[in-house]
Amino acid sequence: MRVVSLSYVASNVTDPEAWLSRLSLFTGILNRLTRFAAVASFHCIAGNAVLSRGNVTYFFFRLLPGETWLPFRLHRRVKRWGPDVVIVHSLSFPLQVILLRLQFGRNIRILVQDHKERPGHFLRQMLQRMADRCVDAYLFTYTEQAQPWLKNRIIAHPRKVKQLFEGSSAFVPSDRDEARRRTGVGPGVVYLWVGRLVAFKDPVTVVSAFLRFLKGDRKADLYMIFQTTDLLNEIKALLDDHPDAASSIHLVGKVDHDELVHWYNSADFFILGSHDEGTNISLCEAMSCGCIPIVTDIPAFREMTGNGKCGLLFPPGDKERLLKTLVESVRLDLACEKQKTLNQFRSTLSFDAIAERLIKILS
């Protein structure tokens, strides 16, 4: 079997290595997929190049004006490679998918990977319905994610909807004491937040519940790593109102991605308050290091945790339930729960697990 991963997203990046470095959460799946198939990956950047990484061949293609919409040259290049399967990234390119089918005929299978898109406006929906006739299967983080597409009859048949995670983590567990020396994290039970301080991730509920949790004279710390500061002032106001407990909540801010592995290995628990997610890579990375999840009971997190096989779930926005969940976390056997988390990651979320799942879909 010969499999192509195809992205129509046009970038002004000129360095192929720099572009690949952004995609490490996904390229690991392609690397593992080479155990079962020949694999190539096509990307549209501001330059032409061919690179080999492991057993995957990466083609970088510079689109000419107008070719974003009418990528005939790109399709001819893909066709020369001779794929049996083409996986198109994003449901946002219906015209390109139609043209891909017209140029290839019925000699290939076309799969489309969702990246948390939403159905478009009226005219785009018409194109998306036409493109659906060209698509053999759709890949969603969780099947419920396809409901808006099914409801709007953009995807005609539920049988086309398949579950597949978008990416994974290359991080691995390491010695906790050594990790804490590197991060400066103190002794005791450590909870970690990694994510943007935005409303749909709901850091305010997390901080509010944690402040109440600390009132029980509990020795615990929450470290918050974040890339955006939308709700930072609200969080600081909460901390100002609770000066005694505030010393146990640490606003770390931005951390280089390569350093995150040490933070995950420093923590006992990983906590998020999201109301909606696709494949949350921060949660995936945390679980790959054995960091026990305390996350919201939403479809994506249920899928990622095996419906609660590891960690603890609480309803989004519910401070009372989160407080009870935090109290429950203190009673857990940390070594046992860490192993459950690692087992769930390896069996479901790892690059190997995702590649094997994809092969089953293709078979």
- Report strand pairing: 49-53 vs 56-61: antiparallel
Q: Which residues make beta-bridge pairs with 60?
A: 43, 49
How many whole angstroms separate alpha carbon 203 and alpha carbon 197?
A: 6
User: Could you tell me the maximum CA-CA distance found in the chain, to the nearest angstrom?
Assistant: 68
Question: Of 187, 186, 205, 185, which is closest to residue 195 (Cα–Cα)?
Answer: 205
Buried b (16+ CB within 10 A) or exposed e, 129-147: bebbebbbbbbbbbeebbe
If one counts every other C-beta atom within 10 angstroms of the C-beta of residue 235, the result is 20
Half-sphere exposure of residue 324: CA atoms within 13 angstroms, side-chain side? 6
The chain-wide mean pLDDT, for the chain, equals 95
pLDDT at 129 over 80: yes
Q: Check if the beta carbon of residue 119 is closer than 8 Å to that of residue 149.
A: yes
**For range 155-164, the mean pLDDT:** 96
Main-chain phi, psi angles of 218, to 5 degrees: -95, 140
pLDDT at 219 over 90: no
How many whole angstroms separate alpha carbon 336 and alpha carbon 41?
A: 39
Q: Check if the beta carbon of residue 117 is closer than 8 Å to that of residue 97.
A: no
For the chain, list the domains and their CATH numbers: 2-168+351-362 (3.40.50.2000), 176-349 (3.40.50.2000)
**For range 277-301, the mean pLDDT:** 95
Residues in the chain: 363
Question: Of 221, 229, 167, which is closest to residue 196 (Cα–Cα)?
Answer: 229
**How does residue 245 score in pLDDT terms, banded at 50, 70 and 90?**
confident
**For range 195-209, the mean pLDDT:** 97
**For range 319-338, the mean pLDDT:** 97
**How does residue 218 score in pLDDT terms, banded at 50, 70 and 90?**
confident
pTM: 0.93
The amino acid that residue 13 corresponds to is: V
- Alpha carbon of residue 220 to chain centroid: 28
